[in-house]
Structure 1
Amino acid sequence: MEMLAQHTSRLFVFTDLDDTLFKSLKNTKSDLSFVATTNNQGEPQGYSSLQQQKLLNIFEAAGGVFIPVTGRRTDSFLNCSLPAIKNTPYAVVSHGAVILDQNHALLEQWHAFINAEFNLALLQSELVKTFDHLHNHFTALDSSVRVRLIVDQGITAYVCVKVSRSDYSENKAKEVDSYLKSILPNDMLLHSNGRNFAILPPYARKEIAVKFIKDKLKIGEHDTVFSIGDSNSDLPFMKESDFLIAPNGSQILDKEQYQ
Structure 2
Amino acid sequence: MLAYHTSRLFVFTDLDDTLFKSLKSDVSIVATTNNEGESQGYSSLQQQKLLNVFEAAGGVFIPVTGRRTNSFLNCSLPVIKNTPYAVVSHGAIILDQNHTLLEQWHEFIKVEFNLALWESELVKMFDHVHNHFTALSDAVRVRLIVDQGITAYVCVKVSKGDYSENKAKDVDLYLKSILPNDMLLHSNGRNFAMLPPYARKEVAVKFIKNKLQIGENDTVFSIGDSISDLPFMKEADFLIVPDGSQIFDRE
Under TM normalisation by the shorter chain, which class is it? over 0.9
Residue 22 of structure 1 corresponds to: 20
**Is residue 156 of structure 1 aligned with residue 151 of structure 2?**
yes
Task: Assess if the C-alpha contact under 8 Å between 1:150 and 1:156 holds in 2.
Answer: yes
Which residue of 1 is the match for residue 64 of structure 2? 69
Which whole-Å CA distance do the structure 1 matches of 2:5 and 2:48 have between them?
A: 30
From 6, 9, 20, give the equivalent of 1:8.
6
In 1, distance between residues paired with 2:86 and 2:161? 32
Kindly provide the CA deviation profile for residues 137-182 of structure 1, in whole angstroms up to 9, marking residues without a partner as x: 1122131211111100010001111112222221111111000001
Q: Provide the secondary structure at the position in 1 that maps to 2:180.
A: coil
Unaligned runs of 5+ in 2: none
Tell which deviates more after alignment, 85-94 or 134-143: 134-143
Other-structure match for 2:174? 179
2:215 paired residue number: 220
Judge conservation of contact 1:99–1:110 (CA < 8 Å) in 2: yes
**How much does 1:6 deviate?**
6.8
1: CA distance between counterparts of 2:192 and 2:210? 30
- Once residues 248 and 167 of structure 1 are traced to their aligned partners in structure 2, the CA distance between those partners, rounded to angstroms, is 29
- The answer as to whether partners of 1:71 and 1:95 remain within 8 angstroms in 2 is yes
After TM superposition, the structure 1 = structure 2 runs for residues 1-259 of structure 1, keeping only pairs within 5 Å, are 2=1, 4-5=2-3, 8-23=6-21, 25=22, 28-255=23-250
The answer on whether the counterparts of 1:21 and 1:52 sit within 8 Å (CA) in structure 2 is yes
Go from structure 1 to structure 2 and tell me whether the alpha carbon gap of 1:161 and 1:12 turns closer, same or farther (over 3 Å shift). Answer: same
| Residues 193 and 251, structure 1, Cα contact 8 Å, conserved in 2 | no
Deviates more, 1:91-100 or 1:139-148: 139-148
Evaluate the alpha carbon distance shift between residue 52 and residue 151 of structure 1 in structure 2; reply closer, same or farther with a 3 A threshold: same
Note closer, same or farther for the CA distance 1:6–1:238 as it changes in structure 2 (3 Å cut): closer
Identity %: 84
TM-score of the superposed pair, with normalisation by structure 1: 0.94
String of CA shifts for 1:59-90, please: whole Å, max 9, x gaps.
11111000000000101100000000000000
TM-score, scaled to structure 2: 0.97
Structure 1 letter corresponding to 2:234: K
Aligned structure 1 segments of 4 or more residues deviating by more than 3 angstroms: none
3-state DSSP of counterpart to 2:6: coil
Cα distance in 2 between the residues matched to 1:254 and 1:149: 32
CA distance in structure 2 between the aligned counterparts of 1:102 and 1:161, rounded to whole angstroms: 30
Question: Matched residues in 1 for 2:248 and 2:191: separation?
Answer: 18
Aligned length: 251
Say whether the 8 Å CA contact 1:7–1:222 is kept in structure 2: no
Distance in 2 of aligned mates of 1:136 and 1:99: 31
Amino acid at match of 2:164: S
Q: Distance in 1 between matches of 2:170 and 2:243?
A: 27
Q: CA deviation at 1:253?
A: 2.1
CA offsets 1:114-139 (integer angstroms, 9 cap, x no match) = 11101111111111111111111112
| Consecutive unaligned residues in structure 1, runs of 5 or more | none
* Aligned-residue offset at 1:7: 5.2
